[in-house]
Amino acid sequence: MGFVKGLKCRECGKAYPKEPLHVCSYCFGPLEVDYDYDGIKKVLTRKLIESRGKTMWRYQELLPIDGEPTVGAQVGFTPLVKANNLARVLGVDELYIKNDSVNYPTFSFKDRVVSTALTKAKEFGFKTVGCATTGNLGNSVAAQAVQAGLESYIIMPADLEQGKIIGTLIYGVNVIKVKGNYDNVNKLCSEIADKYGWAIVNVNLRPYYGEGSKTYGYEIMEQLGWKTPKHIVVPMAGGSLITKIEKSIKEFAMLGLIDKADTKLHGAQASGSSPITTAVKLETDVIRPVKPNTIAQSIAIGNPADGFYSVKTINVSGGWAEDVTDDELVEGIKLLARTEGIFTETAGGVTVAVTRKLIEQGKLPRNESIVISITGNGLKTQEAVINKLEIPKIINPSLAEFVALIEEKKAAARR
């Protein structure tokens, strides 16, 4: 079992052993997992995948572990929803929602990267894990570390949404709140990884961690009947997910599991934290770091680790990128809820609102298939909408009062 040859530098190609390393010591490029694709091609067929349990581990050969998954064995295989109601409102023919707001166990796509990273951490023999988080990653590391019997340290900006903080504290793990934004927290975590030798999933285990995101893409293709959509719209924070969806498509094409890799990948950010979309729109691959200022905290990263690669992914695929204001993202959350019955968090609101914008711009042609990536759950970011909803009137348990209220509502609707 296991098709991982080792790690390889994305820039200079230098090979490294399977170890908790993440930067090339020669050129400082990021390291990436190197697979034996010839070996994988001999065993991995559609039929074998379909015969397995409905979890992300049905693509196990393409994940960077040597043994069986020991953490998060139930994660993934979330619904791909045909979104006919939203399609009608947006004026497009074929629209889907890949809904990771119901991922197991913590309701975001981060459960995929964490089950991968923690399985790897156990293979390496780590006893303590941690992460720098904008919210969802911390929820997932905390929950899955508890399940795996690992000690964990979750390091977060002090001002995250209540749902994200409680959604970590509840697991009884070590939570450290830091005065500052995610970029400050991330830098601190690099120093912590060096000093304590812990497995920080998005720092020293980053090459392994990111691979878990590929399963989001594999599932989309399998759920479409082993086909690619023409377009996928993806929210971007550090920019890892969008590059891994691209990789998932290339790998499936290379392995003959789909016919061709022709999907355009479109990136979505909040205007208050848009270093990647700004670079795409300026037609440069130079990322200018920003100081985030948006309610979309889960994707508020001012200095994205994979910024350069995500710009490349978008350009090479023929996609585009856009960003939206906080008001527009709130409208996006409400629109998805009111058309498809899916309550997403701020990042999902960004993706829906950006999709709308790209359709209006003609970047998403109305007769081509589109997948919207919904990556997190709205119950965790209630602050975003709490003051934007109608407050229900309170009545006594009386039929007369109910009738009066209904008549009043009908009259208001006629006005």
Query: What is the DSSP secondary structure assignment for residue 117, as one 8-state letter?
Result: H
CA–CA separation, 31 and 207 (whole Å): 6
What is the pairing mode between strands 199-200 and 231-235?
unpaired
- Which residue, 25 or 361, has its beta carbon nearer to Zn ion? 25
Contact 221, 213 (CB under 8 A): no
What is the Cα 184 distance to its own chain's centre? 21
354 counts as binding ligand PLP under rule CB under 6 A: no
Q: Which two tokens stand for residue 154?
A: 């979750």
Per CB under 6 A, 298 contacts ligand PLP:
yes
Nearest distance in Å: CB 146, ligand PLP = 19
Instruction: Write out the residues near Zn ion by the rule CB under 5 A.
Output: 9, 11-12, 14, 24, 26-27, 29
337 near ligand PLP (CB under 6 A)? no
Q: Which does 236 bind (CB under 5 to 8 A by kind): Zn ion, ligand PLP, none?
A: ligand PLP
Q: How far is the CB of 13 from Zn ion (least distance, A)?
A: 7
Residue 239 partner contact from ligand PLP, Zn ion, none using kind-dependent CB cut-offs of 5 to 8 Å: ligand PLP
Q: What three-state secondary structure class fits 345?
A: coil
Out of 138, 332, 376, 378, point to the residue binding ligand PLP (CB under 6 A).
376
Q: Strands (DSSP E) along 87-197, which ranges?
A: 95-99, 128-132, 151-157, 174-178
Which residue type sits at 219?
A: E
In the window 185-244, what residues touch ligand PLP (CB under 6 A)?
Answer: 235-241
Given Zn ion, ligand PLP, none, residue 24, with its beta carbon under 5 to 8 Å by kind, binds: Zn ion
Provide, rounded to whole angstroms, the least separation between the CB of residue 304 and ligand PLP: 7
SS3 233: strand
Q: Which of 103, 108, 115, 355 binds ligand PLP (CB under 6 A)?
A: 108
The entry of ligand PLP, Zn ion, none near residue 27 (CB within 5 to 8 angstroms by kind) is Zn ion
Dist. CA 361–CA 38, nearest whole Å: 42
Decide whether 31 or 236 has the Cβ nearer to ligand PLP: 236
Taking the least distance from each CB to ligand PLP, the nearer of 24 and 347 is 347
Across the beta sheet with 231-235, the strand order is: 80-82, 95-99, 370-374, 231-235, 264-270, 321-324
Q: Does 86 help bind ligand PLP (rule: CB under 6 A)?
A: no
Give the integer Cα–Cα distance in Å for 363 and 197.
46
CB of 4 to Zn ion, least distance (A): 19
State the nearest-atom distance from the C-beta of 26 to Zn ion, in Å. 5
Instruction: Check: CB of residue 185 under 8 Å from CB of residue 155.
Output: yes
Minimum distance from residue 392 beta carbon to ligand PLP (Å): 29
* Orientation angle between helical segments 307-317 and 240-254, nearest 10 degrees: 50
Q: Which residues bind ligand PLP (CB under 6 A)?
A: 108, 110, 136, 235-241, 298-299, 345, 347, 375-376
